[in-house]
Amino acid sequence: MRVLLWHVHGSWTDAFVRGTHEYLLPVLPGHGPWGLGRAGRPWPSSVREVRLDALDADSVDAVVLQRPEEVAEVARVLGRRPGKDLPAAYVEHNSPRGDVPNSIHPLADQQSIPVVHVTHFNELFWDNGSGRTLVIEHGVPDPGRAYSGEIPELAAVVNEPVRRGRVAGTDLLGRFAEAAPLQIFGMGSNGLADAVGLAPPRLTVRGDLPMDELHREISRCRVYLHPFRWTSLGLALLEAMHLGMPVVVLATTEAVRAVPPEAGAVSTSVGELVRAARELIGNPEEARRRGGIAREVALARYGLPAFLAAWDALLEELTEPRFRSGRLVFPPQERKSQ
């Protein structure tokens, strides 16, 4: 089928568009958040860039929404209302902000557009009201076990670490630098050294790298660090686990379900994590063993086939006439249990 979606979250989209459908990505001359298109990604030929205002209304079989504003935008341009005239699902990528756990989801208390949470934590902590919800956990294209751990340093992928501050655990980097030097990857890292008061060799800012190069470089580091206090579930963490890296992770949000202690270390005690990082840095064999466990867990729970199969099942359900008529396929409580 032909599925319309905006390129909002690159890593999630990278997995989603590897299915068997035709994927229509709006593109604008200036690109930006409403017209990013493929953005040069090496995606399959089934991923097509389209001008939204040039699309025929009947050329779309379903829409996958990711921002509340997209509901009105699709209706305005295509003349078809998501969830009414056009089968639709809404993907919630983020954990709630503000008055947690009383944050009301933008699509709460409506039945026509199911909200697909990417983690069980998100579904639990968002107030979804009486709306239909389900969880489709992340899927990661397997990059293969590339881990060498040859460099006795910690790697972390943190986008915009200065702006995000405590949310991303940026203030904790100095404590982890006591265990080993840090290599920080990700977008918007200008000014990080000054912000955390670290200089080479304790901190090396690597910036934003293409995916293949990123995987190659972090795999050379002995341990992967996930310092986030509040995030849905970092896809870079799951990618590091797929690569066979041992991981040291704050036990917050979905991380406590995604990462077993045997894959590295998981704790809300920063002191415990710093000690664990130091031990793994000093013991390459143990680091490799725990990285192997991390890879096994990631493949079993966050493999691409299960992710795509779950989305196929949902899209098939959504495009049935009985859904388009507004009648529920499943009662809300039954959908949530699946």
Residues 125 and 181 in one domain: no
Does residue 145 belong to any structural domain of this protein?
no
For residue 72, being part of any structural domain is answered with yes
Tell me the C-alpha distance between 306 and 202, whole Å. Answer: 40
Kindly state whether residues 83 and 207 are assigned to the same domain. Answer: no
Q: Does residue 146 lie within any of the structural domains?
A: no
**Is residue 51 in a domain?**
yes
Do 11 and 74 lie in one domain? The reply is yes
DSSP letters, 200-237, are TTTEEEEE---HHHHHHHHHTEEEEEE--SS-S--HHH
Q: Which helix (H) or strand (E) holds 297?
A: helix 284-302
Note whether 12 and 118 are within 8 A (CB): yes
Of 166, 313, 134, 147, the C-alpha closest to 240 is 147
Asked if the structure places residue 117 within a domain, the reply is yes
In angstroms, the CA 186 to CA 123 distance is: 27
Asked if residue 268 and residue 182 are part of one domain, the reply reads yes
Q: Kindly report the CATH number assigned to the domain that includes residue 272.
A: 3.40.50.2000
The amino acid at 54:
A
| CATH code, domain carrying 123 | 3.40.50
Q: Quick one: 132 and 183 in the same domain?
A: no
Whether 92 and 166 share a structural domain: no
- Indicate whether 116 and 14 sit together in one domain: yes
- Domain tally, the chain: 2
Within-domain flag for 71: yes
- State the pLDDT at residue 321: 60
Closest CA to 4 of 45, 72, 79, 55: 55
Coil/strand/helix, residue 126: coil
What per-residue confidence (pLDDT) applies to 332? 35
Supply the pLDDT for residue 329: 34
Same domain as 120, residue 15 = yes
Q: Which domain holds residue 130?
A: 2-139+305-337
The tokens describing 90, both together, are 């809404």
Spatial distance between the Cα atoms of 222 and 155, rounded to a whole number of angstroms: 8
Per-residue pLDDT of the chain (338 residues), as tens digits, is 999 999 999 999 999 999 999 999 999 998 999 999 999 999 999 999 999 989 988 999 999 999 999 999 999 999 999 999 999 999 999 999 989 999 999 999 988 999 999 999 999 999 999 999 999 999 999 999 999 999 999 999 999 999 999 999 999 999 999 999 999 999 999 999 999 999 999 999 999 999 999 999 999 999 999 999 999 999 999 999 999 999 999 999 999 999 999 999 999 999 999 999 999 999 999 999 999 999 999 999 999 999 999 999 999 999 876 444 333 333 333 333 33
Is 144 inside any structural domain?
Answer: no
Query: Looking at the domain assignment, is residue 111 inside a domain?
Result: yes
Q: Are residues 157 and 185 in the same domain?
A: yes
- Residues 85, 191, single domain; the answer is no
Same domain for 275 and 168? yes
**Same domain assignment for residues 281 and 309:** no
